[in-house]
Chains A and B, each alone.
Chain A
Amino acid sequence: MRMVLKGNGAVAHGVRLARAQVISAYPITPQTSIIEGLADMVSEGKLDAKFIKVESEHSALAGCISASSAGARVFTATSAQGLALMHELIHWAAGARLPIVLANVNRAMAPGWSIWTDQNDSLSQRDTGWMQVYCESSQEVVDSVIQAYKVSEKVLLPTMVILDAFFLSHTYEDVEVPEQSMVDGFLPPLDLPQKMDLERPAALGNLVFPDRYMEFRRKMDLAHDLALGVWEEVGREWGGLTGRSYGLVEEYRLEGAELVFVTAATAASTARVVIDAMREEGIPAGLLRLRVFRPFPAELLRGVLAGRKKVVVLDRNCSFGHHGIFHQEIKSALYGLPDAQRPPMYGFIAGLGGRDIRPDDIDGMLRGVWEGRITDPVSWWDVLEAKDPARAAVVMA
């Protein structure tokens, strides 16, 4: 059924259709309307779930971990400082191999306080063992929440479904909300192979000595490798049912593209407009949209980017002291290519703290690189630069 939904509403409908059984959550802007929507669905009897109100994000995820350990399908949502407060248990959820789905609405980290979007909150959880999916539209949000349960439950890893604050979370648009019967066929009830069971008592989360710890970590890494194929397979199956296929990445007008723009989330949506206009002009530009960031589709990216003339990466994030994070990761993926096949890369850090990324910005980056006016490997875009950087670096004003 087609409906007008905002991104946060799309998350709630995805969770409803996945028949989550336990929701344990704590409010934080700009996520709050996700769990408000779910609370309404539970109170109106549209979703048969236990809704646990807790006193912090740390407890929210603790509730999910407990319920998931008992074999329930669970959900939580958060943003920024809330995700950071969960951090200890973010590791726990992945290490315990629980198929939890969490929606993170990308919000810039404080200080300075910001409620607006950037990716440093979710990317600071990169090395925890969670899978991460970055969404471009509310349609992709509802579809990805449902897919995330299927993938998570196959590979026993938790998934973060990630959407931009406001540009997606609070933007209403028309969305095809799948039918419950179709989703039921796609996503059977959860039957975890190992769970708390009164008939088969067991201890969970025990001390693991050095002779075994590494084996558990190796299994997590293998599960990520396995998940690459599972995301593709599940994205194809979804396409067969709905006409909307998804992959690890999305290629847009890449046939014959010599200049490739790489980014994730809503900036990729806006970039399509720019790519179309440049193609119209005869500039051979294309877009590679990152969707699944963990597991990282390094081999796929290497194949798609090999032999291109120039690659431009837009990061709405920064690893301070180094590059944008997507830029770093893609660069490392291209390391194995022979010199002649390895394209030069140009990274842009833009849109932090919710600064708008307009078509003109993307056009400026792409044209600057294509025409050879921008040659720096990393640039901060649309930022007020100080006359004296050494002084500016240590003066808080």
Chain B
Amino acid sequence: MIEIRIHGRGGQGAVIASQILAEAAFREDMHVQAFPSFGSERRGAPVAAFVRLDDEPVRIRTEIYEPDGLIVLDQSLILQKLVDVTQGFKEGGWILINSSHPPEEFAGLGSYRVATVDAAHIAVEHHLGSITAPIVNTAILGAFSTFTGLVGLEHIAEAIHATVPVKPEANVAAARQAAQSVKVLDAQAAGR
């Protein structure tokens, strides 16, 4: 079973991202489970969503405390230390961050596989959200596909069509662009 935690801010689409990811993995014939952190959401406040993927039906029904992978929709959560995103994170896990910085900038987080993608810039280019509040959830899932190899890009595209009610084409285009531009930290080159 693969357990993924998605961190973002209210309004960035973390919950929808978890849903698209589940829809995409479902198209890979996996059993899926996706859910939000069970609070009252406020725009801009830190939020989390969770995804479990497995070849077997998923029986565990709790929040995810020890994720295998992390998706961070807003780098400020890390840079301003608003949320301990790596809490309970398994060593050797992967972390994908929406950031204009190269992944090396985040090498200090720990012994993880790190990747970054400028999903905010890509979202703005495709007119998803506004310049100040871009909706980055679809772009980052394109990067997720390339980085983790867990779900094919075509299934991400299908899942976006099944899940996103507005501008599905622009969202798919953003995902495709992000899939090409994700930067993965070369752990050896970074001396780790």
Contact = CB atoms under 8 A, between A and B. Distances in A.
Interface of A: 2, 4, 6, 115-116, 165-168, 170-174, 266-267, 269-270, 272-273, 354, 356-359
Main DSSP-derived SS at the A contact region: mixed
9 contacts: A167-B62, A170-B38, A171-B33, A171-B35, A171-B61, A172-B18, A173-B58, A174-B32, A359-B60
B19 interface: yes
Contacts of B22: 4, 172-173
Most buried by A among B31, B38, B58: B38
A287 B40 CA distance: 34
B62 A4 contact: no
B62 A170 contact: no
Interface in B49-64: 58-63
A82 to B, nearest CB: 18
Contacts, number: 62
A135 to B, nearest CB: 12
B167 to A, nearest CB: 20
Contact of B34 (A2, A167, A172): A172
Interface residues of B, number: 20
Given A173-B58, A359-B60, 11 more contacts: A4-B32, A166-B36, A166-B38, A170-B36, A172-B33, A174-B32, A266-B61, A269-B59, A269-B61, A356-B63, A357-B62
B118 to A, nearest CB: 28
Given A4-B22, A4-B23, A115-B40, A171 B34 contact: yes
B36 to A, nearest CB: 6
B16 to A, nearest CB: 11
Nearest to A117: B38
A273 B33 contact: no
Contacts of A6: 35
Given A4-B26, A166-B38, A269-B59, A172 B65 contact: no
A196 B36 CA distance: 46
B32 A273 contact: no
Nearest to B159: A4
Most buried by B among A165, A170, A171: A171
Contacts of B63: 356
Contact of A116 (B31, B34, B38): B38
Contacts of A171: 33-35, 61
Contacts of B62: 167, 270, 356-359
B27 to A, nearest CB: 9
Nearest to A359: B60
Contacts of A116: 38
Interface string B1-18: 000000000000000001
